[in-house]
Structure 1
Amino acid sequence: MSIALAPYFRHSRSSLPGLGLLGLLLASLSLSARAEGPTEGEARELVESTAEAVITEIRESQEAVEADPEALLAIVDRRLLPHVDAERMTRLVLGRYYRQASATQRAEFTKEFQRLLVRTYAGPLSELGDQKIEIVGTSPGGADDELLVESEVSGGDLGTVPVAYRMAPVDGEWKSYDVVVDGISLVNNYRGSFAQKIQRDGIDGLIRTLREQNEDGRR
């Protein structure tokens, strides 16, 4: 059984190559935490420079990517995982089931969920076009220590799409734990489909399904 994505994410994967870029930026945004907190200007400069670096690396590696899809996965993996607040994302995605999960189950779920994210966003990146990202501002997040980086992505088949990145400080730097595309939260989207799977097959069943999907993706 395939884990379902929310309608926007499901329908836009083929029509918006920049979606992969959105997922990559979700992870690659990392702001140095300061006592006074990051300013809007610092956030804007970092997001724009990070986006440019990511796009450049993918385009320069196009031949390697076309020859071996794993090369693209390696790029996404390297850029993605170090800058994701995996613990917070796991806690939010599992929702009320997080407390029911053992430490081992949480670790296994986090590993497979991260692999799922990498593969979900790697595909569209192989067809990266002339998408442009404009940072339109920052605003406070839901908690005192959270930050929302707001942007607009244009140049794809869907026109201009608003994208916001939810971030929080971890060990002295900001890390991303959610992306909101046109009002749809990645975390909330997965939480709904994962909850349905857990209700049917338990947490181990969800982990097993994710593992099988990830293994199928390697073939």
Structure 2
Amino acid sequence: MKIQLLAAAVLAFASATAVHAQGAASDAKTSTQNASPNAVISSVAEELLGRIKKDRDALDKDPQRLYAMVDEVVLPYFDFPLMSRLVLGPAWDKADSAQQKRFMDGFKTLLVKTYGNALLQYSNEQVSFAEAEPGSKPDRASVASTIQSPGADPVTMHYRMRQKDGQWLVYDVVVDNISLVTNYRGTYASEIKRGGLESLIDKLEKQAAG
């Protein structure tokens, strides 16, 4: 389920330029500092889609190049410290600083590889965006989108974002009411219960190195 969630998320990023939300996303700029949540997502999408079209053959042949592109273009717009805390839940507070960093690095690498592999599924899906909705706090917002693939039911998803130092960052993606953060948290909580946090981190590091 986690891979399907990420695939839907990255396809939304990659094809976001197909349909802009009521003109809001069309204001995207190269710099996303102080930009609206919609403009941030659209700006990332335009750069990502442009690179995929330009270097598709090379990316298909070289996964490391694909992972590097995801790391450079997409992941700077994810709030990994917050995402990691939410995913680990109570285990985050019990972990020491070294364990927290190792988990965050391993989790980030996992998402890079999963995002990269999902990018290869891109086939001009149509995406529509709604205006960003305010969250429960002034620094929180949610951007809803709908992905339509030929011959398939539409997929509804929400980017949950928070503003940090003037920049809107994604900290969770909800696909058809399934939260990416909650999905990982349930899986990792079970693994921690079975083998402990150190065992989980070791597993992530091995996956990252593989």
In which range does the TM-score fall when normalised by the shorter chain?
0.7 to 0.9
3-state SS of 1:137 partner: coil
* 1:113-124 matched pairs, under 5 angstroms: 113-124=107-118
Instruction: Look up the equivalent residue of 1:103 and give its one-letter code.
Output: S
Per the normalisation by structure 2, the TM-score is 0.83
User: Hey, what's the Cα distance between the residues in 2 that align with 1:93 and 1:23?
Assistant: 22
* 1:147-162 matched pairs, under 5 angstroms: 147-155=141-149, 158-162=152-156
Question: For the Cα contact (< 8 Å) 1:90–1:110, is it kept in 2?
Answer: yes
Provide the residue aligned with 2:60 in structure 1.
Answer: 66
Q: Are 2:158 and 1:164 equivalent residues in the alignment?
A: yes
Provide the residue aligned with 1:21 in structure 2.
Answer: 11
User: Hey, what's the Cα distance between the residues in 2 that align with 1:74 and 1:195?
Assistant: 29
Q: How many residues align?
A: 196
Question: For the Cα contact (< 8 Å) 2:7–2:119, is it kept in 1?
Answer: yes
Q: Are 2:120 and 1:126 equivalent residues in the alignment?
A: yes
Per the normalisation by structure 1, the TM-score is 0.80
Root mean square deviation, CA, Å: 2.5
Instruction: Look up the equivalent residue of 2:11 and give its one-letter code.
Output: L
Q: Which moved more, 1:184-193 or 1:127-136?
A: 127-136
Question: For the Cα contact (< 8 Å) 1:48–1:134, is it kept in 2?
Answer: no
1:31 offset after TM fit, Å?
4.9
User: Hey, what's the Cα distance between the residues in 2 that align with 1:105 and 1:197?
Assistant: 16
User: Hey, what's the Cα distance between the residues in 2 that align with 1:171 and 1:46?
Assistant: 14
Task: Flag the 1:192–1:158 CA change in 2: closer, same or farther, 3 A.
Answer: farther
Q: Are 2:102 and 1:103 equivalent residues in the alignment?
A: no
User: Hey, what's the Cα distance between the residues in 2 that align with 1:64 and 1:210?
Assistant: 27
Instruction: Look up the equivalent residue of 1:182 and give its one-letter code.
Output: D
Structure 2 unaligned blocks of 5 or more:
16-27
3-state SS of 2:33 partner: coil
Q: State percent identity of aligned pairs.
A: 34
1:215 offset after TM fit, Å?
2.1
1:82 offset after TM fit, Å?
1.8
User: Hey, what's the Cα distance between the residues in 1 that align with 2:7 and 2:188?
Assistant: 25
Q: Are 2:186 and 1:213 equivalent residues in the alignment?
A: no
User: Hey, what's the Cα distance between the residues in 2 that align with 1:194 and 1:24?
Assistant: 28
User: Hey, what's the Cα distance between the residues in 1 that align with 2:128 and 2:13?
Assistant: 16
Task: Flag the 1:49–1:154 CA change in 2: closer, same or farther, 3 A.
Answer: farther
Deviations 1:178-218 (A, max 9, x none): 111111110000000000111111111110011112222xx
Structure 1 unaligned blocks of 5 or more:
1-6
